[in-house]
Each structure stands twice: as C-alpha cells, then as structure tokens.
Amino acid sequence: MPNQSPSHHHNPSQSQYATVSLAPMMDWSDRHCRFFWRLLTKQSLLYTEMVTTGALLHGDRSRFLDFNPEEQPLAVQLGGSNPQALAECAKMAEDWGYTEVNLNCGCPSDRVQEGKIGAILMAEPELVAECVNAMSNACSIPITVKHRIGIDEQDDYPAMESFVRTVSSANCDTFIVHARKAWLKGLSPKQNREVPPLKYEHVFALKKALPHLTIVINGGITSIEQSQNLLQHVDGVMIGREAYNNPYFLAQIDQQLYQSSIAAPSRDDVLHAFTDYCKTEIDKGNRLHHMSRHILGLYLGEYGARVFRRFVTERACKPDAQAEILLAAREAMNRSKPV
Ligand SMILES: Cc1cc2nc3c(=O)[nH]c(=O)nc-3n(C[C@H](O)[C@H](O)[C@H](O)COP(=O)(O)O)c2cc1C
C-alpha cells in the first residue's frame, strides 16, 4: 500500500508553514525571543508561549497577544478545555492577526492539570474534539493540536492514534507530536522533557496510518541534518530547546530546509539587527535584560562565547542599561583573543 496519498494537503494554509516550526516555551518564546529568532529564519513558523483562556478572557490581553508584525507567520498556543472559552479566544487571536491557533494537549505540569489543561486532555479525546470544533467554527484560521505520544499507562501506540482520529474528525488536520509520553504524576515538567524516552517511530506510524493529516514531529531535534532525515517520514519538524540554547544553527534553515536562495545572516549581522530592535524597545520603556537574555547563546562555539555571555548578563540587568552593551560585549570577545 502506498504511504503517500497524492493530495493530502487539503488545507494549504496549514501545510505551507509546517516544515519547520519553533516550539512554544513558557518564559522563553516571548515576543523578544521570537523577534530574535525571526532574524535567523524568515520561513519557520513561530509559536507564542502558552496562554490560558482565563488569562485572555479576564486578564490583560495586549500583554499576552501583542507581537511585532515581523514575527509572522506566528501561531498562538492556547491552554484550556472549555469549548466556549476556547472559541472566544480563537476568534480573539484571529482578530489580533495570528496565522494559526494551537491547542496545548502536551504540557504535563501539575498546576496545569488542575485547570484541565495540557496533556491530561489526551485522556479525553471527545472533549478535545468538541473544543477544536468550537474553535474552528469561531474563526477561519487553522486550528492545530500539540500533544504527546501518550500519557501514564496508556497503551503504547493505539491510544494516540485513536486520539488523533477522534480530534481530526472535528476539523483539525495538523498535529504536532512531542515524541515522548507524559507522566502526569511524580515527574516535574523538566523531567517530563527528558526522562520518558523519545519514540520517533510512533510518530512515523501515525503519519503512515493517517497520511492525509499534516504530522509534525517534536522532541530532541538538534541539527539540520537530523531534521532532513525526519522530514523523510513526516511533514514537519518542531524545534524547542536547541533553538534557544544554540540559536545560530537556525540560520541554516531557510537555505537548507526551504531552498531559499538568500544568504544566511552572520552572527554579527543578527547582533546588529537585534541591537537596533533593543534600542526601539528601550525607547518604548522596555528593559534591555528582558530582550538580551534570549541571545546569550548567539556565539556558542565561537572563541569568546563565554565572555559575551558574561558581559551581557552582568550589565544588561541594570535598570538604565542601553542597547550598545550588546556591541560592547562583542568587542570584549575580540579583546579576549590571544594575540
Ligand atoms: C522552558 C520550556 C517551556 C515550555 N513551555 C511549553 C508550552 O508553553 N507549551 C508547550 O506545548 N510546550 C512547552 N514546552 C515543551 C516544548 O514545546 C517541546 O515540546 C519540548 O521542549 C521538546 O522539544 P525539544 O526537545 O526540541 O526542546 C516547553 C519546554 C521548555 C524547555
């Protein structure tokens, strides 16, 4: 039986962006971080940190939803399980200009489980289908789901396939699969990203079983070559921690994974552009530290990378710190070179 159906991308607005995405990460993928990532890759789809329906419906929407137009294409990730609330938030996201709305069914943290948010929802496929249905009726941008290969004692593969089948019947055709189980009790969120083993083959099997769906694989991806290999089996790769810790490898994505003919920027190009961004943001009242903390890994692997990191960390947190500190840190790197 052929694995690929000829026209499985029935919703081009989704699959167009699926090839590479950078993961939603609380406290990390905020708008400053995303602006920085966008300097490295123009093509990849970016995700916000998770925002709960409660925060959007009762809190300061602008704080959670505002973004710089340069960040597009940009998806917002929602946390919640009330169909009506999620529908309202999906509409809000569309009005704010987002490209996609993603529902978090993968986050294992205890705090999150209390509000029935995240991975615990994998135990309730019908409820997730209801949520997705309400969301997609409320707006016209694509609704996608990010989930795990399973939770707790669930059967290894069948429960996930059945979850995806049920949810896809509700107008969702893109699934981002973090290729490890979530243990809902006894592991911290951090352990839940390291301890359960990665099982890529379960994600490949999902794509084979449901070839008409757009399947994006996530977890442990650290290079372009590994991404190319994974893209032989699935439609997209989502990269999390490596994008944050070693951001410069993202500069290869557009050429190598999207066949762009535009030359990759150098690290210094990126630093200069980000410095300009920081100037603008500081003029608007933002603190340098809130932006510069995301770029500490820019020179990873280069001579003086630690000098850069330390220089920025030590000086950027002063309340009146100016953007030029970033350029001074670059010069300090050069001075640290033996002659
Ligand atoms: C600091 C941090 C925060 C995260 N926050 C979220 C989140 O808000 N929503 C989500 O779906 N996943 C979250 N994750 C999980 C990542 O999106 C991703 O699934 C996971 O890190 C595995 O990918 P990686 O090995 O490429 O990092 C977070 C991960 C980290 C490290």
Q: Enter the CATH code of domain 20-258.
A: 3.20.20.70
Q: From first to last of the 339 residues of the chain, give the pLDDT tens digit.
A: 333 333 333 333 455 678 999 999 999 999 999 999 999 999 999 999 999 999 999 999 999 999 999 999 999 999 999 999 999 999 999 999 999 999 999 998 766 555 789 999 999 999 999 999 999 999 999 999 999 999 998 878 999 999 999 999 998 999 999 999 999 888 888 898 988 999 999 999 999 999 999 999 999 999 999 999 999 999 999 999 999 999 999 999 999 999 999 999 999 999 999 999 999 999 999 999 999 999 999 999 999 999 999 999 999 999 899 999 999 999 999 888 776
- Within its chain, how far is the Cα of 197 from the centroid? 20
Q: Is the CB of 77 under 6 A from ligand 1?
A: yes
How far is 128 from 134, CA to CA, in rounded Å? 10
Every domain range in the chain assigned CATH 3.20.20.70: 20-258
Question: Which helix (H) or strand (E) is 147 found in, with range?
Answer: strand 143-148
Give the three-class secondary structure for 217: strand
The alpha carbon of 25 and the centre of ligand 1 are apart by a number of angstroms equal to 5
Report how far ligand 1's centroid is from the alpha carbon of 239 (Å).
9
d(CA 86, ligand 1 centre) in Å: 21
Whether 79 is in the pocket of ligand 1, judged by its Cβ within 6 Å, is no
Predicted TM-score (pTM) above 0.75:
yes
Nearest CA to 251 out of 14, 17, 13, 22 is that of: 22
Classify residue 255 by burial, with Cβ atoms within 10 Å: 0-12, 13-18, 19+. middle
267-335: what fold? Four Helix Bundle (Hemerythrin (Met), subunit A) (1.20.120)
**For ligand 1, is residue 23 a contact (CB within 6 Å)?**
yes
Strand partners, 146: 104, 176
Mutate which of 103, 187, 241, 245 for ligand 1 pocket (most atoms within 8 A of beta carbon): 241
For residues 25 and 161, give the distance between their C-alpha atoms in angstroms, rounded to a whole number.
Answer: 25
CA distance 221 to 240: 8
66 neighbors 31 (Cβ within 8 angstroms)? yes
Segments of the chain assigned to CATH 1.20.120: 267-335
